[in-house]
Structure formats: structure tokens, C-alpha cells
Amino acid sequence: MGLRDNAIVAYAETKVMEKSDRDVWVLSGEILEELLDKTGIDKNEIDGLVMAGLSGTGAGNPFWAQTTADVLGLEVGFCEQVHIGGCSAAGCVARAAAAIDYGMCEVAFLLFADTHVLEDHTDHSHSYRREWTDPYGLMGPPGAFGLLSRRYEAQYGLDYRMLGKLAVTQRSHALLNENACEKLRVPITIDDYMNSRMIADPIRLLDCVMRADGAAGLMMMSRKRAKQKGLAKAIIPIGYAELTNFKGGENLVDVTKSGHEICGKKALDAAGLTIKDIASFHPYDDFIIAILLQFEAFGFCKAGAGVQFIRDHDFSYNGDLPLNTGGGQISAGQAACSSHNLVEAVRQLQGEAGKRQVKDTRNALVTGIGWINYGRNWGSSAALVLVPE
Amino acid sequence: MAKALNDTLGVKRTIKHFDFSEPYWEGTKQKKLVIQYCKATGKYQHFPRPVSIFTGRRRDIEWREVSGKGVVFSYTVAYRATPAFRGAEPYAVVSVTLDVGVNFVANIVNCTAAELKIGMKVKPYWRPLDDGTHLMMFQPDNGPA
């Protein structure tokens, strides 16, 4: 048994909302209902609940996953909350597969539910921030990415218009995605990107993800069980790796490098693929420059060559390297525990992406970025390779 | 683009310390930068930790005074601020590589936007806090080495 003996048999997703008009558990119930309806699975067959811990609404409750199991009436042999920030959604897939392999559950409900605009209990006070960055007014992620961008520019040069190109492509995808946040479904140009107001120079407004509310979910089981049940559109995770606190035992670290260099190679090796084989790319996007850094870290191009790589490729859903075809988080909204790019990849491989359907559905590479560490780039990196059955 | 930078000296700060950081804050009362040093590896570390990040051991940690001089590793200019800093925008946050080989994030004073550059030399600037400690900030170091 291993990762690839498991299958994602269905996905579900609410529309992304600027602010939810209903409770996070109502959204969770909608996801559960949709997954049950899609798969024909009986509610009582679910014996695993795997929740992304990146929930502002759930953050104040140490018993969040258990409470949610109770609210939804689920009796489970495996109850898990995954806490690797923006890597949590991909991390949930790997942990559900491990639990199924180990026999702790047979049918896992993966739930990504958050209404952090409506109700946020996030508390960063017990962290380095209170002594080492809050007293200097460094504003969380935008501040950290401002430092990171300026350093990248000094090392390699940075044509901001090429970051704008990525922003425009992702926005054009959100226009084709009815589940994207309505506020963001407005076309933009590279000039709009360049002229958007500075937040943490050189980070502009249109570099940044917008927090939004919503929920999504996946249903997983063994590949064998999926076949027995006739769930033919199964998506198979064939490679996964994550890394937290890259070079955490070193002082001076090149902030243009990340744990993706390591976990990207591991995940691709496990999948038996090289980066050139990747048919569509769904990288975690909290800031546009994170996509450029991932082009380099995953080996699409060499370190420092990200701008040229962007110039040379078409990242539209019908281009040579389809990128975040649902709009990415930056143009769909940062909702549902940052699971948007994962759910979009599953949808694409199932051939259900409608007007934005990619042609090549041989595989998809999904990534995660989680948490901001002191004076570096990010705390966790993840990579997940998916293929259709 | 030579925009003015605010120095944030007027921003009120109340800082809650971790107990394992206290020797740092004690040092700042005398405007001394005292940071952690790992005896086993001969390396400094910042921010303070309960253990050496190199060996994982508490007993390898000691505190040493350092100059606080260094060069700017990177910087960002905040046009949107955290609540405590509202009204102080735009202000710079710099990451400085100290001459003992650690990066230190802080604000910079006595520096215009045009002067602020990666690689520029800086030295400490101590901003008094109400509890008798000082907040370590940076200022350009134009003096002899």
C-alpha cells in the first residue's frame, strides 16, 4: 500500500464570498451533502474526518475537528486537523491516504471550511511577532513578501510587468470561474497591476491575496474501493512531499530559495515524472512573486530566470503551461482554508472545468505555502502530483 | 520617487517579552545589544530561542554583547500599516545582516527613501521605551569603520 493506492473520488466547493452570509457549519453541511450526492456514498460509510487547520473561525477552539464531527453527526475512526498553514489542504490528502493505508479509516471526508471574514479567532500573540516584528510595524505576509521581493530584485533584477502578466492571466481565469469571488471577477491589465497602490513596497494591491469566506471538500478512499463502487472519475495522488522550517537550523538563508526545492523533487521522483512532464501547474499564490519563486524552485527554470520564463510562456488554460486555471487564490479569493488550487486541479483532471477546461489532463502539480517565519520567506512548503485513474 | 520616510519614533510600543528573551531586554536598558551565542558551534542566533538552533541544547546558549553594526539585507516601505502604526506611513522596515552573521528586522531612522539601499552600512539607534528598556532600531553608519 502507498499514496497511489488511494483515490480522490469527488470534490465539492461553495462559491467564494467576500463575507459569508451563513455559518461555517452550514457551509460544511453543504459540502458534505454535495459529496454524498455526487458519490452515492451513505453518510455512515464515512469513518474519517480530515480538516485543514487553517481556519480563522475554528482557530479559537482546540477541539475544532471533534466538534465538527459532532455537528455533522459523523462517527469516525480517524479525526484529524492538519496544521501546516497553506499546505494543509494538500497535506490533508497525504494524511487521509496514510490513514486509509494504515486501516484507521476507509472513507475519508476532507473538509476545508472557513469564514474568517465573518468570524476570525486567529491569535498570533504567542509567536516571534510580539517581540521581533510587531514593534516595527511589519505587517505580516505583505511585509515579509516586500522584504523578499526587494531582495530578489537586488540579486537577479525583477521586471514587475512580468508579475503583472501572471496577475492578468489568473484574473482572466477567475472571469471563467463562477465560483470565484464576485468582487474579483473584473478584468485587469498589466497597467492596472503596475498602477495598483503600494501596500508594502514593492508589494502592490494586485500582488496580494484577498481574504474571503467559503468551503470546499474532497472524498477519499482506496483505489480498490473506488473501483468496486464504480466511481470511475477517480483522481490519484502519485507523489507528495512537504517540508517545514527549511534550513531552520541555519542563520543566513537565501530568501529566494525555499523548501519547494526539496519537496518538489521528492514529489516528482515519487510520481516518476520530471518537471517537463507537468501538464498544468496549480501553485500556491498568496502573492504573485510566490509563483515566480516556485517556477525556479520546482525547476521549470533556473534560479533568477523566472522573469524570462514568464515572458516565454502562455499560462492561460489553453496555453503551453496552464496556471491556476480557476483564478488562483489571488483572483478567486483566499477562502476554504486555501484549498482552491487543489480543488481546481481535481476538477480539471475530472474534465469538469467547462469554459476553462485544459486540454492536457495527464497530470497536475499542486503546491502549498504555509506560514511566515522571521525574516525569511515561508515556513512550510508542499507539493502534490495528481493523475486521473 | 524620492518620497519622505517617517521614522516611527512617535509610535507607542508596549512589548510583551517571552521569559527566555529577558537577557536581551536587560541589555537594552544600557543600550547594549546582547544576543544569543552557541558555545558548541561558535555561531550567533537571533531572535532568542530557549535552545541553540544549531545543537538543540539549552546548555550551549550564552549571551554576548555585539556591535549591532551591519548592512541592509533588504527593506520594504509600508504604505499600509498595522493598527498601532496607522498615521505613520510611509515607513521603512529593514532586515539587516549584523556583522556577527544574523539578520535583524527593525525600523530605520535618519534615512531618506533615496538613501535607503540594500548593502548600505547601518548601526544601532536606541529608542527609549516606557519600561526602561530600549527598542533597537537602525540608522545609517557614515563613520569610520
Three-class SS string for A165-180? HHHHHHHHHHHCCCCC
Cα separation, A81 vs A254, in Å, equals 32
Task: Please tell me the predicted confidence (pLDDT) of residue A275.
Answer: 98
Q: Look at residue B13 and tell me if it is in a domain.
A: no
At residue A211, φ and ψ (nearest 5 deg) are -65, 135
pLDDT digits (tens, 9 = 90+) for A94-143: 999 999 999 999 999 999 999 999 999 999 989 999 999 999 999 999 99
Please tell me the number of Cα atoms within 13 Å of A336 on its side-chain side. 34
Q: Look at residue B11 and tell me if it is in a domain.
A: no
Q: Look at residue B16 and tell me if it is in a domain.
A: no
Domain boundaries, chain A: 3-122+212-234, 129-210+237-388
Cis peptide before B83 (omega within 30 of 0): no
> Under 8 Å CB-to-CB from B22, ≥6 apart: which residues?
none
Q: Look at residue B127 and tell me if it is in a domain.
A: yes
Is 80 exceeded by the pLDDT of residue A1?
no
Cα separation, B86 vs B90, in Å, equals 10
Average pLDDT over residues A331-358: 98
Decide: A28 and A113 in contact? Cβ < 8 Å. Answer: yes
Q: What's the DSSP call for residue B20?
A: G
Cis peptide before A287 (omega within 30 of 0): no
CA distance B41 to chain A (A): 11
Q: Do domains A3-122+212-234 and A129-210+237-388 have the same CATH topology?
A: yes
pLDDT digits (tens, 9 = 90+) for A185-223: 999 999 999 999 999 999 999 999 999 999 999 999 999
Q: What angle do CA A180, A10, A330 make, to 5 degrees?
A: 25
Q: Look at residue B75 and tell me if it is in a domain.
A: yes
Task: Please tell me the predicted confidence (pLDDT) of residue B4.
Answer: 73
Task: Please tell me the predicted confidence (pLDDT) of residue B1.
Answer: 43
Chain A residues with CB inside 8 Å of B86's CB? Answer: none
Give A172 or A251, the one with higher predicted confidence.
A172
- Using CA coordinates, name the residue in chain B closest to A248: B53
pTM: 0.97
Domain A3-122+212-234 sits in CATH at: 3.40.47.10
For chain A, which residues lie within 8 Å of any Cβ of chain B, measuring from their own Cβ?
Answer: 125, 128, 130-139, 142-143, 146-151, 154, 197-203, 248-252, 255, 374-375
CA distance B144 to chain A (A): 26
Cα separation, A335 vs A114, in Å, equals 7
Task: Please tell me the predicted confidence (pLDDT) of residue B143.
Answer: 78
CA distance B94 to chain A (A): 8
pLDDT digits (tens, 9 = 90+) for B36-79: 999 999 999 999 999 999 999 999 999 999 999 999 999 999 99
- Using CA coordinates, name the residue in chain A closest to B80: A199
Q: Closest CB to B54: pick one of A137, A200, A249.
A: A249
Average pLDDT over residues A254-274: 98
Is 80 exceeded by the pLDDT of residue A330?
yes
Is 80 exceeded by the pLDDT of residue B3?
no
Cα separation, B121 vs B136, in Å, equals 16
CATH superfamily for domain A129-210+237-388 = Thiolase/Chalcone synthase (3.40.47.10)
Confidence label for A344 from pLDDT (cuts 50, 70 and 90):
very high
For chain B, which residues lie within 8 Å of any Cβ of chain A, measuring from their own Cβ?
Answer: 8, 11, 13, 15-18, 21, 43-45, 47, 53-54, 73-82, 84-85, 88, 90-91, 93, 95, 97, 101-107, 118-119, 135, 137
The tally of domains found in chain B comes to 1
Task: Please tell me the predicted confidence (pLDDT) of residue B2.
Answer: 47
Inter-chain touch A151–B118, beta carbons under 8 Å: yes
Q: B107 is written with which cell numbers?
A: 525600523
Residue ranges of E strands in B1-145 = 33-38, 43-45, 61-66, 70-78, 91-98, 103-107, 121-128, 134-140
Burial pattern A109-131, b for ≥16 Cβ within 10 A else e, equals bbbbbbbbbbbeeeeeeebbbbb
Q: What's the DSSP call for residue A18?
A: S
- ipTM metric: 0.96
What domain range includes position B96?
21-140
Cα separation, A134 vs A128, in Å, equals 9
Is 60 exceeded by the pLDDT of residue A183?
yes
Q: Furthest-apart CA pair in chain B: how many Å?
A: 50
Q: Look at residue B61 and tell me if it is in a domain.
A: yes
Helices within chain B (DSSP H only): 22-29
